[in-house]
Structure 1
Amino acid sequence: MRVGIIFGGPSREREISFAGGRTVFDNLDKVLFEAVPVFADSLGNFILLDWRFIYKGTIRDFYPPVESLPESVHQLQVYMESLGELSIAEQDAIIAKTGKRLLPHEFRQHFDFAFLTLHGPHGEDGSIQGLLEWYHIPYSGSGILPSAIGIDKVAQKEMLRQHGFPTPAYKTISYNQWSDLSQREGIFAELVSELGLPLVLKAPHQGSSIGVSIVREKDFNAFEQAVERSFFTKTIYKQQWLALDEEKQVASMKQLVDIREGIGMPVVLADGTWVYHPEELLAQINHTFSSTSADSLRLASVEREQLVLVEAFVSGKEFSCIVVQDETGKPIALPPTEIVKGNELFDYRSKYLPGLSRKITPINLPTEEIQRIREACSKLFVALGFNVYARLDGFITESGELFLNDPNTTSGMLPSSFFFHQAAEIGLNPSQFLTYIIRTSLAERLKSGKDTVLFTRLLQDLDKAIKDEQAHRHDKVRVGVIMGGYSSERHISVESGRNIYEKLSSSSDYEPLPIFLTGRDEKHHLYTIPVNIMLKDNADDIKEKIQHFENGGQPHPVLAQIMQEAASITRKYTGGILNKPQRLTYPQLKNLVDVVFIALHGRPGEDGALQQELEKLHIPYNGSGIRSSQITINKFDTNELLAKHGVPVAKHSMAFKEEWQENPEAFFQSIEAAFNYPFIAKPADDGCSSAVKKIKNRAELEAFSSLIFRETEELDPACARTLSLGFKEEFPNKEGFLIETLISREGAKHFLEITGGLLTRYSPDGTVEYEIFEASEALAEGEVLSLEEKFLAGEGQNITPARYATDPERRQQISEKVKADLKRVAQILQVEGYARIDAFVRVMENDEVETIIIEVNSLPGMTPATCIFHQTAINGYKPYDFIDRILQFGIDRTRMRAEV
């Protein structure tokens, strides 16, 4: 069956939709389905997308294409709508660079079924559903009417009340009311009087995380800002603006035009003028304040809201619950997940970036209370006429009051989302859950009475294919995917491991087995884990769940009941039941798998320790061998070896705890004598982004040393503030750290940070051949690239291929020189399998090219958003193809050694 995955769209959650579309594209069962990527741009065009673009980190990385963008002095990022009023011909020229325009009446020529991962307006409101029904295309999820209800938070309130569901007291503010400045303080006083404090403000037609604020104090200024946030309007005051220097004005502009946190573009001014591009807006603001007497400038998004919903605050446990239908149409509420927030507000970042909030499934409540939540969610699912699946959010107070709010007809489909997290509790991996969604949606569309002959045939064909696949489940190569670990990058390792597992589980050739590694340097343990534990929120949650079963714990009684209720679904799509985690020895591992994929970062995994254990038993594995791994894990040793071979690296030195403890002042002075501020400080033997800091002064050097040499697990708050550590940012504890000069432009006409991937294979004569990919240009928001920017969807920006020069021919010449440099580095270090090499590139005035190596990662991150997938796509490899070749190299290496 050809499945058109429709993703992107015009909403403010388009990046999450884009990442969700990629998840579906990768995880659709390749035996059952052919995935057809259909990208909807922000102007409403449908594009049959060249699949290579799906693996970009964000929409902005490829659309509009960089050559279609106007000059931007401050490198402000834009979407299609910032290009102004484009003619159809101009739009077609842009579309042709990424794929082919697809008109709705052409849909049926390209796909049989539409899988919707669109969010917000036009995606969750019945619009796309109505369009597809007009053209006789079955689609996923709820129909037109429930979708229209699911997007309108004010209409939902009335319906909740009509059906007897408690809901927090609420009021609305109209845009016309708010536009009368004289009424504003009175509106605030009235709301506080009627609803009390805190107040929760929401944009009523957006996704559940956009335009949401909490006002806790009787602070009119905070209230005014919150209302503007929900309306997507902004008042800029002259005095405040002119107090900012240019750098801060540009930073403020980036925040203002951010579609997630700001008002987005285009904006309309008070006189009705439309402004499309952020640079144009920046110029307009400066012009207004420099040449007129205006003391403020009011901006409104052209997609602003007409109402703001204001709710009374509910204090209690917050939860989210996915409800699905079985084959009889009966709703089954999956185990509700408690959201333990790191911030008070479960906002866009907290929802979609692993580790910023904690998800506990099922919610930490007595069994009867959990069942009460499930029953209420199932009842609301039916009352609102939802179909197939939905996500229902709510609160339960200490006194037991239950409030449901924000029912959604779709859910975020990132690998770590509630959607997959809760489905795993009935034993469905993402590939199986997507099959369930498609099959159930087809059955639901049949109930409409439209196109019943066509839909019945599609359903019968799919049922037959599912049955046939179950009969051949055991004819596959068994792959142990080892993830987790105990480094500060263990959460990224879990993201990588899950991604590998999911790519392999949707294939026709491999049967993956998730394996979690935990412990410490002195001793580590392996555990096989079932899919529901693998899809816990992060590595620490997985470890906690394993310990629960090791200490004699049993599955939660609610989970056991849900498994029983969903038994017909589980049998149909998995053919099995969930098991408990099992500790595993390496000899036992050999009996369970044919090959291992190590998805660990830092130690162990990248240091050769795991490779030694696997080689003793002749178990094939991915990546470099023991000796190469032992070198590349240590950035100091890597620098030393490369410098010995004449490869440019930063000036470097080690700083040791023993010397710091003996005489701190002499320790600092010796560093300052050898290195000028600013310089880079980082662990020598940890993952690629962990605790990498630009040290600008003595205070920061002291803070860095105190944190990395500390005796306790806790971080000193004052030191953390000095280094501006991010929320929940981890900092490893080490006996030494690496100091490097800050690599700078030094007169180069072009200077950029790049990351380049590679893949190896054996030639017929048994020698290792290197395939070096086009490098990506990495753009950091802060002083150094963060973990989020490197690995998480929607964060950061990577331009692939890197922009070494504006002239295409010259760009390619420089690229070939850089690739040759990266290949030489890989050969010196005897890197095998695959790797990622980070570097800076200087293009000098005389056109000389210098590649300065930063570090080499022998087991690079393999999260869905990592830029190595952008690079492999240019060479024609989908992620599964790339993973397949990595595994095949490991198998060939073990076989060749056995033959010798």
Structure 2
Amino acid sequence: MKIGIIFGGPSREREISFAGGRTVYDNLDKSLFEAVPVFVDSLGNFILLDWHYIYKGTIRDFYPPVEVLPHSLHQLQIYLESLGELSTEEQEGIINKVGKRILPHQFKEYFDFAFLALHGPYGEDGSIQGLLEWYRMPYSGSGILPSAIGIDKILQKDYMNSHGFPVPRYRIVRAEEWADTSQRPIIFEQLTRDLGLPLVIKAPHQGSSIGVSIIKTTDFRAFEEALARSFFAKTIYKNSWQGFSPEAKLNFVKQLTDIREGIGLPVRTDNGVIIHHPEQLLEILEGVFEENAREEVTLTNVESEPYVLLESFIQGKEFSCIVIQDPNGNPLALPPTEIIKGGEVFDYRSKYLPGLSRKITPINLPNEQIQHIRQECSRLFSAVGFNVYARLDGFITAEGQVFLNDPNTTSGMLPSSFFFHQAAEIGLNPSQFLTYIIRTSLVERLKSGKDTVHLRKQLHALDASIQNKKTANQKKIRVGVIMGGYSSERHISVESGRNIYEKLASTVKYQPIPIFLTGSAEEHRLYVIPVNIMLKDNADDIKEKIAHAEEGHLQHPVLEQIRQEASPITEKYTGKMLREPQLVTYEQLKDLVDAVFIALHGRPGEDGALQTELEKYGIPYNGSGIDSSRITINKYETNEILRQHGIKVADHLMAYKQDWQTNKEAFFQNIESAFSYPFIAKPADDGCSSAVKKIKNQRELAAFSELIFRETEDLTQGPATVLALGFKEEFPQKEAFLVENLISKEDGSHFLEVTGGLLTRYLPNGQVEYEVFEASEALAEGEVLSLEEKFLAGEGQNITPARYAPEPKLRQKISDKVKADLKKVAEVLNIEGYARIDAFVRIKEKNEVETIIIEVNSLPGMTPATCIFHQTAINGYKPYDFIDRILTFGMERTQKKVRAA
């Protein structure tokens, strides 16, 4: 059955839709379905997308294609709408570079069913649903009417009121009212009197917490800014603008035009000029304020909200609950998840970056209150007429009153989303849950009475395929996916491990088994974990659940009841019940698995310790061997070896805690005599951007030293403030750290940071051959690449292949030289399996190329958004193909050792 995955779209949530579409594409059961990627651009064109582009980090990395972009002084990435008004022919030319335009009447030529991963306006409001119904194309999720209700937060309030659901007091402010600036203080006074404080302000047609603010005090200026944010408008004042440095002006425009945090593009000025490109906006603001023509300029997005919703604040626990339809068509509420936020709002970063918020399932409440939440969610699901599934968010007060808000007809579909997280609690992995959604959607479309003969035939064929899959005796290769660990990289390791598990779970070749590693360097503790624990929010939550089970706590009674209610579903799609975590030794692991995929980062995993244990029992594994891993884990030792082989690296030294404790002044002098500010300080054996800082003065050096050499786990507030650490930013404790000179452009004509992946295979003669991929150019918003830029979908800007030169032949010539340099690094360090090498590239006169190595990752991050998948796609590998090649190499290596012995 061909499944057209429709993703992207015009909304502000398009990046999450893009990442969710990729999740669906990768997780569809390959024995049942053929995935067909249908990307929707921001002008609403449907594009049969070349699959390579699905693995780009963000939409802007490939669309619009680099060849059609106007010259950008600051190399800014843009969306299609920033190209201005485009003719049909111009759009066609752009589309043909990434795929093929298809029109709705052609959908049936390419796929049998539309899986909707679109968010927000056009995707969740009934628009696409109506289009698909017209062309008799079955689709996932709710129909036209419930979608139209689900998108409009104000309509929802009226609807819920009329159906007896408690709702907070609310008011709306229309754009035309707000335009009268003299009335704004009066509006603020009325709203605070009628609704009280705190006051919640929302853009009524947006999701992912876009355009949401909370006002706690009678601060009129903060209220005015919050309303403008929800209207997607911004007033810029001449005094503020002229106080910015050129760099600050550029960053201001970048943030302002961001579709999630800012007002987006195109914008209209208060005198009617429409601006499409961020550099055009920068130029206009500069000109207006330089000429002293204006004291202020107001910009409004051309698709701003017509009104803004304001609600009284609900004090209570926040939760989210997925409701699905059971096989009888009745609503079944999955266990509601409590959201413990880091900030006031469960914002975009908190929703999609692991470790920034906590998700507790089921919500920590008495059983009867959990059941009350479930009953209310099921009641609203029925009242609105939702189909197949919905995500209902809300609050429960201390008195037990449930306030539901913002029902979503399309949930986020990232691996860590509630959608998969709660389905795992009844035992469905992502692949199985997607199959359930598709089948249930077909049943719902049949109820419409349209095209029933064709739909019934599709349903029967799918049921037959599901039954055949259950009864087929398939011999699969058992792969233990080891994730977690106890380092500062444990959360990203879980993301990598889950991604590997999910890629393998949808195949006919492999049976993945999730294994969580915890403990210490002295004692590794390995646990085989069920899918519901694997899909907990982060490594610490997984560890907590394992401890809970070891202490002998009984299963939560509400979970037991839900699993009982869902047993007809789990029986059909999995055929087995969830098990408790199981502690295993390495010796026992040998009988459980045929091979291991190590998804750990840093120590243990990349240091040879785990490899040593696996080799004792002849268990095949991915990545480099023991000796190579022991070298590459240590950045200082790695660079020393590379320098000895004539490979250019940063100048560096190790700074030791003992020296710092003995004489801080001498400690600082030793570093300052070797390096001038600014320089880079970082751990020698940690990755994922943990504690990598650009140190600009002795105050920052002192703060860095105090934090990394601290005795307690908690961070000291003063030094953390000096280094401007982000919320929940990991900062490991170490006995030493690495200091490196800041690599810069110097005498180069062009300078860029790159990260390049590679893969190995055995030649017939037994030699190892290296396949080095086109490197990605990494663009950092701040001083160094952040965790978000590396791993959060839609956040990092990685351009693949790297832009070494504008002329294609010269670009390729430089690229070949860089790849040769990376290959030499791999050969010197005896890298095996796969790796990622980070470097700076300096292009000098006569196109002389200098590659300066930063670090080597022998087990690179394998999260869905990591750029290694962009690189492998260019060489024709889908993520599963890449993972398969990695595992095959590891198994062949073990066989060679057995034969040699």
TM range, smaller chain: over 0.9
TM-fit CA distance, 1:688: 4.5
Give the corresponding residue for 1:809: 809
Distance (whole Å) between structure 2 residues aligned to residue 661 and residue 118 of structure 1: 56
Is the 2:352–2:792 contact (alpha carbons within 8 Å) kept by the matching residues of 1?
A: no
Is the 1:208–1:406 contact (alpha carbons within 8 Å) kept by the matching residues of 2?
A: no
Equivalent positions of 1:496-515 (< 5 A) are 496-515=496-515
Distance (whole Å) between structure 2 residues aligned to residue 623 and residue 864 of structure 1: 19
Equivalent positions of 1:267-286 (< 5 A) are 267-286=267-286
Of residues 703-712 and 65-74 in structure 1, the stretch that sits farther from structure 2 once superposed is 65-74
TM-fit CA distance, 1:687: 2.1
In structure 2, give the amino acid aligned to 1:860: P
Distance (whole Å) between structure 1 residues aligned to residue 345 and residue 122 of structure 2: 26
Give the corresponding residue for 1:572: 572
TM-fit CA distance, 1:494: 0.2
Distance (whole Å) between structure 2 residues aligned to residue 533 and residue 474 of structure 1: 26
Equivalent positions of 1:247-646 (< 5 A) are 247-472=247-472, 474-646=474-646
Give the corresponding residue for 2:695: 695
Give the corresponding residue for 1:7: 7
In structure 1, give the amino acid aligned to 2:871: Q
Is the 1:318–1:395 contact (alpha carbons within 8 Å) kept by the matching residues of 2?
A: yes
Distance (whole Å) between structure 1 residues aligned to residue 554 and residue 651 of structure 2: 55
Equivalent positions of 1:743-892 (< 5 A) are 743-892=743-892
Distance (whole Å) between structure 1 residues aligned to residue 83 and residue 304 of structure 2: 19
TM-fit CA distance, 1:272: 2.0
Q: Report the count of equivalent residues.
A: 900
Distance (whole Å) between structure 2 residues aligned to residue 527 and residue 604 of structure 1: 15
TM-fit CA distance, 1:473: 6.0
1:48-97 Cα offsets, whole Å, 9 max, x none, are 00000000000010000112111122233210001000011111111111
In structure 2, give the amino acid aligned to 1:545: K
Is the 1:3–1:112 contact (alpha carbons within 8 Å) kept by the matching residues of 2?
A: yes
In structure 2, give the amino acid aligned to 1:104: P
TM-fit CA distance, 1:794: 1.1
SS in 1 for 2:391: strand
SS in 1 for 2:4: strand
**Pairing 1:59–2:39 present:** no
Of residues 473-482 and 323-332 in structure 1, the stretch that sits farther from structure 2 once superposed is 473-482
Distance (whole Å) between structure 2 residues aligned to residue 272 and residue 800 of structure 1: 38
Give the corresponding residue for 1:651: 651
Distance (whole Å) between structure 1 residues aligned to residue 408 and residue 420 of structure 2: 15
In structure 1, give the amino acid aligned to 2:187: I
Distance (whole Å) between structure 1 residues aligned to residue 470 and residue 453 of structure 2: 26
1:824-882 Cα offsets, whole Å, 9 max, x none, are 10000000000000001111012111111000000000000000000000000000000
Give the corresponding residue for 1:213: 213
Give the corresponding residue for 2:106: 106
In structure 2, give the amino acid aligned to 1:540: D
SS in 2 for 1:846: helix
Give the corresponding residue for 1:713: 713
In structure 2, give the amino acid aligned to 1:442: L
1:800-830 Cα offsets, whole Å, 9 max, x none, are 0001111100000011111111001000000
**Pairing 1:894–2:860 present:** no
Distance (whole Å) between structure 2 residues aligned to residue 560 and residue 474 of structure 1: 30
Is the 1:595–1:620 contact (alpha carbons within 8 Å) kept by the matching residues of 2?
A: yes
Is the 1:29–1:432 contact (alpha carbons within 8 Å) kept by the matching residues of 2?
A: yes
Equivalent positions of 1:224-263 (< 5 A) are 224-263=224-263
Of residues 286-295 and 774-783 in structure 1, the stretch that sits farther from structure 2 once superposed is 286-295
Q: Is the alpha carbon distance of 1:169 and 1:208 closer, same or farther for their aligned partners in structure 2, counting shifts above 3 Å?
A: farther
Give TM-score scaled by structure 2 length.
0.99
Of residues 158-167 and 350-359 in structure 1, the stretch that sits farther from structure 2 once superposed is 350-359
SS in 2 for 1:262: coil
Q: Is the alpha carbon distance of 1:474 and 1:580 closer, same or farther for their aligned partners in structure 2, counting shifts above 3 Å?
A: farther
In structure 2, give the amino acid aligned to 1:61: D
Identity %: 72
1:441-483 Cα offsets, whole Å, 9 max, x none, are 0000000000101110111111111111112365111000000
Of residues 163-172 and 690-699 in structure 1, the stretch that sits farther from structure 2 once superposed is 690-699
Distance (whole Å) between structure 2 residues aligned to residue 788 and residue 197 of structure 1: 33
Distance (whole Å) between structure 2 residues aligned to residue 652 and residue 242 of structure 1: 40
TM-fit CA distance, 1:790: 1.1
Distance (whole Å) between structure 1 residues aligned to residue 715 and residue 20 of structure 2: 35
TM-fit CA distance, 1:294: 2.0
TM-fit CA distance, 1:236: 1.1
Is the 1:200–1:214 contact (alpha carbons within 8 Å) kept by the matching residues of 2?
A: yes
Is the 2:339–2:360 contact (alpha carbons within 8 Å) kept by the matching residues of 1?
A: yes
**Pairing 1:685–2:677 present:** no
Give the corresponding residue for 2:138: 138
Give the corresponding residue for 2:180: 180
Distance (whole Å) between structure 1 residues aligned to residue 138 and residue 259 of structure 2: 31
Is the 2:13–2:208 contact (alpha carbons within 8 Å) kept by the matching residues of 1?
A: no
Is the 2:635–2:684 contact (alpha carbons within 8 Å) kept by the matching residues of 1?
A: yes
SS in 2 for 1:802: coil
Give TM-score scaled by structure 1 length.
0.99
Distance (whole Å) between structure 1 residues aligned to residue 210 and residue 266 of structure 2: 18
TM-fit CA distance, 1:153: 0.5
Is the 1:688–1:857 contact (alpha carbons within 8 Å) kept by the matching residues of 2?
A: no
SS in 1 for 2:847: coil
Distance (whole Å) between structure 2 residues aligned to residue 180 and residue 89 of structure 1: 42
Give the corresponding residue for 1:71: 71
In structure 2, give the amino acid aligned to 1:801: P
In structure 2, give the amino acid aligned to 1:399: E
1:269-311 Cα offsets, whole Å, 9 max, x none, are 2222211111111111122222254211111101100010000
SS in 2 for 1:638: helix
- Structure 1 stretches of 4+ with a deviation exceeding 3 A read none
Is the 2:29–2:435 contact (alpha carbons within 8 Å) kept by the matching residues of 1?
A: yes
Distance (whole Å) between structure 2 residues aligned to residue 39 and residue 269 of structure 1: 31
TM-fit CA distance, 1:239: 1.6
1:367-408 Cα offsets, whole Å, 9 max, x none, are 000000000000000000000000001001112121111111
In structure 2, give the amino acid aligned to 1:549: A
SS in 1 for 2:845: coil
Give the corresponding residue for 1:166: 166
Distance (whole Å) between structure 2 residues aligned to residue 754 and residue 319 of structure 1: 41
Distance (whole Å) between structure 1 residues aligned to residue 463 and residue 821 of structure 2: 53
SS in 2 for 1:368: helix
**Pairing 1:20–2:8 present:** no
Distance (whole Å) between structure 1 residues aligned to residue 285 and residue 610 of structure 2: 58
1:340-360 Cα offsets, whole Å, 9 max, x none, are 000011111111111111100
Distance (whole Å) between structure 2 residues aligned to residue 414 and residue 423 of structure 1: 13
**Pairing 1:661–2:661 present:** yes
Is the 2:26–2:503 contact (alpha carbons within 8 Å) kept by the matching residues of 1?
A: yes
In structure 2, give the amino acid aligned to 1:284: I
In structure 1, give the amino acid aligned to 2:469: E
Distance (whole Å) between structure 2 residues aligned to residue 281 and residue 854 of structure 1: 36
Is the 1:485–1:519 contact (alpha carbons within 8 Å) kept by the matching residues of 2?
A: yes
Distance (whole Å) between structure 1 residues aligned to residue 27 and residue 701 of structure 2: 45
Q: Is the alpha carbon distance of 1:356 and 1:321 closer, same or farther for their aligned partners in structure 2, counting shifts above 3 Å?
A: same
Is the 1:688–1:855 contact (alpha carbons within 8 Å) kept by the matching residues of 2?
A: no
SS in 2 for 1:637: helix
Is the 2:61–2:77 contact (alpha carbons within 8 Å) kept by the matching residues of 1?
A: no
Of residues 694-703 and 282-291 in structure 1, the stretch that sits farther from structure 2 once superposed is 282-291
Is the 2:392–2:405 contact (alpha carbons within 8 Å) kept by the matching residues of 1?
A: yes
Distance (whole Å) between structure 1 residues aligned to residue 792 and residue 228 of structure 2: 29
